[in-house]
Structure 1
């Protein structure tokens, strides 16, 4: 990677753990001024990253985060909408309450819409910017036993991202989606453990069941850094003609070309 990212300002939501942490670290190494949001502070020194505590399921949080970034840096060049999680229990439609659907929608879709709406006017004024929305392979390959409401919210995110890319492309702003498959993050490991407990099986058996269900030709989980590598490329000038695309990083799991 060249020095094209040096000095740019980036926001990484959900940037203290897992994929978000890996992305924030990779961008920092590229010379980016990284702002990280999460509900809780990072556990360790983040090498100059600027932390803003925020619960993005709350409607007012996006405006608060945007205001603080612009007051501190005066610009925003990169938005990585990474905050998201499968909040609902497994078991299909019958176990999902209105609250489950609402919570997944707020975290996995509306948080992205609000952050982008708060910061896009600055990107438009700059006539330049890049947005990466982190989705999931489960939006195209839903597992009804485990991810129904989460998959639905992320599928909406995919459509929104394409529409937004079409709208703001002529204004100098690129929007892409990265859809990881099974990634070795704290959230995924917790998900496997919870699935094991609810199914009365061991964690190893739960992991095998998930991998068998998803079908990963490479036969392993991705490392967060493998997702971060693609994101870093997509926000760089090497990807200046790429917008409106959804990239699967799933070890070959998606069974279509």
Structure 2
């Protein structure tokens, strides 16, 4: 009996694939038979050099370098997963967000996808096949005004850009989909939970509750695991999802309320 899900023979580029959901996606893609290239600013121990390109994707030069490496090492790119994202903006609401802070959020959360797609999607269109997955965030719908205004706005822009790209290239056989995570239990989120818990004399579990309550609650009572996010991405990247394009899949434990 054949496996339900396979990426055998596929060639994939996954940005920010050395930690969290990105690392889980790289691992699962390889398990399912794909040849994977990933990137970050520095290569972690244990990741084969052949699978990795060091690049700063917040710059045009870094994106150009990665695109050229993908063409050289993979020959063609069947799947692009834009995992890169995050925020370093200060808390304090809109008034503390300078032009420089806004530019940093956009350069991290929007422009790498725009630049890499511009480099790699034309070849997919020429072949008449390919999958582009943009990882957005539920914060595009549920921004936290005190801390994530610029990040949320950049992710909203990524989502709108992704929808427009899907309408342009889907008639040529290239599927474009979005995955919108809520909280993910990564090393970074656990450190944050530990710090928040300690600030009020509690433990890491108390800190997790603080974060979940700030989002309005998570009905399943926990954040998603990185492997759960990777499972969704792998399905959408596979031929099993061959008629799915132009849509956004939320994986947030029920955080986003329905109207």
Q: Mark yes or no: TM-score above 0.5.
A: yes
Give TM-score scaled by structure 2 length. 0.92
Q: Which runs of 5+ in 2 are unaligned?
A: none
Partner of 1:103: 104
Alignment of 1:151-170 (within 5 A): 151-170=152-171
Contact 2:89 2:105 survives alignment (8 Å): yes
SS of residue paired to 2:110: helix
Partner of 1:176: 177
The separation in 1 between residues aligned to 2:185 and 2:151, in whole angstroms, is: 18
Contact 2:110 2:155 survives alignment (8 Å): yes
Deviations 1:144-178 (A, max 9, x none): 12211100000001101100000000111000110
Contact 1:28 1:49 survives alignment (8 Å): no
Contact 1:33 1:49 survives alignment (8 Å): no
- CA RMSD in angstroms, aligned pairs only: 1.8
The separation in 1 between residues aligned to 2:184 and 2:242, in whole angstroms, is: 27
Partner of 2:123: 122
The separation in 1 between residues aligned to 2:226 and 2:76, in whole angstroms, is: 27
SS of residue paired to 1:60: helix
The offset of 1:207, in angstroms, is 2.7
The offset of 1:72, in angstroms, is 1.9
Contact 1:185 1:224 survives alignment (8 Å): yes
The answer on 1:148 being equivalent to 2:114 is no
The offset of 1:42, in angstroms, is 2.2
Deviations 1:98-156 (A, max 9, x none): 21111110000001101111111111121100011111111111111221110000000
Q: Which runs of 5+ in 1 are unaligned?
A: none
The separation in 2 between residues aligned to 1:49 and 1:29, in whole angstroms, is: 17
Aligned to 2:24, which of 14, 22, 25?
A: 22
Partner of 1:251: 253
The offset of 1:4, in angstroms, is 4.5
The offset of 1:190, in angstroms, is 4.0
Contact 1:85 1:187 survives alignment (8 Å): no
Partner of 1:222: 224
Contact 1:36 1:49 survives alignment (8 Å): no
The answer on 1:56 being equivalent to 2:49 is no
